[in-house]
Amino acid sequence: ASTIVVAVPAAAQKPLPTSDIPANFTPTNAKDYTVREVSIPMRDGVKLHTNLVIRKGLENAPIIFSRTPYSADRAISGRPSNTYKLALPTTYARLMEAGYIIAVQDVRGRYRSEGDYVIALPLSGPLNPAKVDHSTDSWDSIEWLVKNVPEANGKVGTTGVSYGGFTTLMSLVDPHPALKAAVPVNPLADGWKGDDWFHNGAYRQSFLDWVYRMSADKSGTYRLQFDREDTYESWLKAGSVGDMAKRIGVDQLPMFQKLVEHPAYDEYWQGQALDKILGERPLKVPTLHVHSLWDQEDIYGAPAVYKAVEPKDRGNDENFLIIGPWQHGQGYSLDGSKLADIDFDGNTSVWFRENVLVPFLDAHLKDGGKKSGIAPVTAFETGANQWHRYDRWPMSCASGCQYKSRPIYLSADGGLGWGAPKGAGGFAEYVSDPARPVTYRERPILSTYNPNTTWGQWLVDDQRFAESRPDVVTFVSEVLTDDVRLAGEPIAKFFASTTGTDSDWVVKLIDVYPAEYAEAPEMGGYELPIAMDILRGRYRDDPSKPTAIPANQVVGYEIKLPHVSHQFKKGHRIMVQIQSSWFPLYDRNPQQFVPNIFTAKKSDYVKATQRIHSSAKYPSRIELPIMP
C-alpha cells in the first residue's frame, strides 16, 4: 500500500485562539454536603462499595444505613443541585435535614461491590453453605461505620424499600449492638405466599422482567423485550412460563431455574420466610414496619412480620406498624396525595414522614432522643381519608381481637348479604377458558418496565371491565344504609366445584361507588378493589404438596385477602368478584393437574366449568374485619 502525503498550506498551520478548556480546572465546591465513597471489608474479605452523604459541619450524628441491589450511586441521586435538599431523593433529604448521615451500600455482587450476587441470598445454613449472608454483611458494615466515620454518634438505623426492606429485615436477624432502630418498608418477606414471585402458588410472570434485569449481568444493562407492546398477546402466544423463558433467554438464568425447581412451598421457600425467621428470635431492635394497602409487589411482608414479632413486644413499645393508602414504596419515596384517581385529601407521604418516621428515628437514634409518642399502629382508613391510632393490628378478627369479624354471604343469584343462606341454595357458574384468560387490567397491558406503564396503580383499577365478562361472577350487596368500617384481614371462605382437576381462584373485595356521585361525578359507579388475591387450587390443603382437585365435587377453599383499613360509605355497595385467571400477571392454570405448571404443554390447557356454591351446607362468604 502506498502512503499519500497531503501538503497542508501554511495559512492553516496558525494556532487557534487560546482553548476555552483550561489545562487545569478545579470545580468550586459550593455543595452543602459531601459524598464520601468507602469500600467496607466483610469478614470473608469481600469489599462493599458504600456512599456516605454528610451535611457539612455535622457532628455526633446517627447513621441511616440502606443496602440495595439497585445501585448505591443511583440511590443518592436526586436533582443536580448544590444543596442536599434537592440533590438527594426526598426522604434521604428530609433525614439529612433532621441531622442524619446517609449511608447506602451496594449488596455483594451488584454494581460497585465485590463478590457474587445471589438473589435474596438466604441466611447461612441449609440454603446457603457460606458463612456470610445479609445479616453478617449488615453486622460487619455497621461495625466498620461506627468505628470509621468521625462525624457519627455510634448509633445506626437501617431502612430500605422492598428488596431494601428485605435487607433491613436481615439486619435484625443477629443485630449489631449499635443498631438501634429499623424501618423495613414494603419488604420481601415470603416470596411464595404473597411477595414478588408467587401469590399462594400462582406465579407472577411480571417478575421474569426483574430476573432478567437483575441477573443477566451485574449492573442491570439488559431489559426484556417482548414481541408486542401489549404483553397479553406475547404471553398468550408463548405458552407456559417455561416456553416464554426459552424464547427470551431467561431460561439461562439460575434464579429462573430455581423457580422452576420450587413451584410449591417446600423447604426452599419455608427456610427463607422472614416472618417465621424473625418470629423465632428475640426482639432486640425497635422496628417500624411500613405497609402499603395497594402494594402491587410486596403486599404480604410488612403485616406478616409485624404479626410474627408482636408477641415478643411485651411493653407494646418496640414493634410498630404504619399502614398507608399507597402503592409499592409510595409512602417512602413518592407523592402521597393520590393513587391514580383515588384522592387522599392531602399528602399522606409527607404526613407519614413528619408524624411517624422522623419522630420514631429521632427517639431511638439521637443522643438524648425524646419518646416518639407514635401509636403502636398508625393506620390510614381509605374511603374516609382519616389516620387512626390503634394499640394493635388487626383491630377485628374471628377471635382474640378487640372486635369480632362478621361474614358477608354470597348468594347464587348474585346477591351479597349478612344473612346466611338457607336450604338447598344453588350456584353461580362460569366457563374458564385458558385460551381467553381474564386480564388483570384493561388491555393493552404494558410490561412492568415499559416507560409508559402505570403498573404501580393496577390494584386500584376500576373493576367494571371485569364485571362485564362472562367468565367472572359478581355478587353485590344492597346500597349500604350505614357506613361499614373494616380494619384487619378479610378471609374468603368459599365452596366451589370444577370440571377440571386443577384451578386458580381469584377473589376480589370491591367498594362500588354510587352511580350518581355528586362529590366527584367522574367516579360515579367506580368499582374500587380494596382487597384481592389468588389461590392456586392444587395447594388448597397443603402448600408444600400439590394435589389434584377432585373433578365435579364441591371443595372448600380459604384465601386470606390482603389487609384492609377501609370505610364503605353509606350509599356505596359491597361487591365480590370471582374468576379463575388473572393474566398475564399470573401464569395460566392448565385446569388439569400436571406435575409442574412452569413446563405445561400447550395441549395441557383446557376449558373448565366452575361453580361457586351457596347454600346452608355450602355457605360461601367473606369474613369481614368489621369495626363498630
Q: What's the one-letter identity of residue 175?
A: P
Cell 361499614 identifies what position? Answer: 484
Which residue has the CB atom at the shortest distance from ligand PG9? 162
Residue with smaller CB distance to ligand PG9, 448 or 580? 448
Residue with smaller CB distance to ligand PG9, 298 or 433? 298
Which listed residue (162, 168, 205, 577) binds ligand PG9 by CB under 6 A? 162
The answer to whether 135 touches 174, Cβ cutoff 8 Å, is yes
Secondary structure class of 454 (helix, strand, coil): coil
CA angle, 532 then 306 then 344, to 5°: 55
Cell 387490567 identifies what position? Answer: 441
Locate 124 and state its grid cell: 447461612
Least distance (Å) between residue 207 CB and ligand PG9: 6
Residue with smaller CB distance to ligand PG9, 163 or 351? 163
Between the CA atoms of 538, 540, 542 and 545, what dihedral angle is there, to the nearest 10 degrees?
A: 0
Least distance (Å) between residue 196 CB and ligand PG9: 4
Least distance (Å) between residue 210 CB and ligand PG9: 5
CA angle, 421 then 499 then 245, to 5°: 115
Which residues in 408-467 contact ligand PG9 (CB under 6 A)? none
Least distance (Å) between residue 161 CB and ligand PG9: 7
Which residues in 385-404 contact ligand PG9 (CB under 6 A)? none
Which listed residue (33, 84, 117, 163) binds ligand PG9 by CB under 6 A? 163
Least distance (Å) between residue 99 CB and ligand PG9: 28
Residue with smaller CB distance to ligand PG9, 163 or 352? 163
Between the CA atoms of 18, 24, 28 and 29, what dihedral angle is there, to the nearest 10 degrees?
A: 150
Residue with smaller CB distance to ligand PG9, 163 or 568? 163
Which are the contacts of 17, defined by CB distance < 8 A and separation ≥ 6? none
The answer to whether 38 touches 131, Cβ cutoff 8 Å, is no
Residue with smaller CB distance to ligand PG9, 67 or 353? 67
Residue with smaller CB distance to ligand PG9, 33 or 210? 210
CA distance 448 to 454: 8
Least distance (Å) between residue 255 CB and ligand PG9: 9
User: Is there binding between residue 170 and ligand PG9 (CB under 6 A)?
Assistant: no
- In this structure, how many other beta carbons lie within 10 angstroms of the beta carbon of residue 78? 14
Residue with smaller CB distance to ligand PG9, 188 or 509? 188
User: Is there binding between residue 298 and ligand PG9 (CB under 6 A)?
Assistant: yes
Residue with smaller CB distance to ligand PG9, 172 or 491? 172
Closest listed residue to residue 329, CA positions, set 89, 108, 50, 489: 89
Going residue by residue from 91 to 130, which x/- string records binding to ligand PG9, judged by CB under 6 A? -----------------------------x----------
Which listed residue (133, 137, 196, 502) binds ligand PG9 by CB under 6 A? 196
Least distance (Å) between residue 184 CB and ligand PG9: 12
Least distance (Å) between residue 135 CB and ligand PG9: 17
Establish whether the linkage from the previous residue to 27 is cis, with ω within 30° of 0: no
Q: What's the one-letter identity of residue 505?
A: W
Residue with smaller CB distance to ligand PG9, 128 or 499? 128
Residue with smaller CB distance to ligand PG9, 210 or 344? 210
Least distance (Å) between residue 330 CB and ligand PG9: 12
Residue 93 C-beta-side C-alpha neighbours within 13 Å: 16
Residue with smaller CB distance to ligand PG9, 210 or 557? 210
CA distance 313 to 249: 47
Least distance (Å) between residue 77 CB and ligand PG9: 17
Closest listed residue to residue 578, CA positions, set 557, 596, 564, 595: 557
Which residues in 481-510 contact ligand PG9 (CB under 6 A)? none
Least distance (Å) between residue 169 CB and ligand PG9: 12
The answer to whether 543 touches 192, Cβ cutoff 8 Å, is yes
Which listed residue (92, 210, 393, 458) binds ligand PG9 by CB under 6 A? 210
Q: How many residues of this chain bind ligand PG9 (CB under 6 A)? A: 8
CA distance 389 to 382: 14
Which are the contacts of 100, defined by CB distance < 8 A and separation ≥ 6? 61, 62, 63, 64, 157, 361, 365
Which listed residue (98, 169, 188, 321) binds ligand PG9 by CB under 6 A? 188
Which listed residue (133, 297, 318, 587) binds ligand PG9 by CB under 6 A? 297
Helices (H), 149-284: 163-170, 207-215, 231-238, 241-248, 254-261, 267-270, 274-279
In what helix (H) or strand (E) does residue 144 lie, and over which residues does it extend?
A: helix 134-148
Residue with smaller CB distance to ligand PG9, 163 or 539? 163
Least distance (Å) between residue 300 CB and ligand PG9: 11
Going residue by residue from 240 to 279, which x/- string records binding to ligand PG9, judged by CB under 6 A? ----------------------------------------
Instruction: Give one DSSP letter per residue of 468-519, joined into a string.
Output: TSTTEEEEEPPPPSS-EEEEE--EEEEEEEESSS--EEEEEEEEEPPSS-TT
- In this structure, how many other beta carbons lie within 10 angstroms of the beta carbon of residue 551? 15
Least distance (Å) between residue 583 CB and ligand PG9: 20
Least distance (Å) between residue 329 CB and ligand PG9: 7
Residue with smaller CB distance to ligand PG9, 276 or 436? 276
CA angle, 90 then 91 then 94, to 5°: 85
- In this structure, how many other beta carbons lie within 10 angstroms of the beta carbon of residue 363? 17
What length is written for the chain? 628
Residue with smaller CB distance to ligand PG9, 297 or 587? 297
| Alpha-carbon distance values, 411 to 65, 86, 351, 475 (Å) | 52, 55, 42, 7
Least distance (Å) between residue 577 CB and ligand PG9: 26
User: Is there binding between residue 66 and ligand PG9 (CB under 6 A)?
Assistant: no
Contacting residues toward ligand PG9, per CB under 6 A:
120, 162-163, 188, 196, 210, 297-298
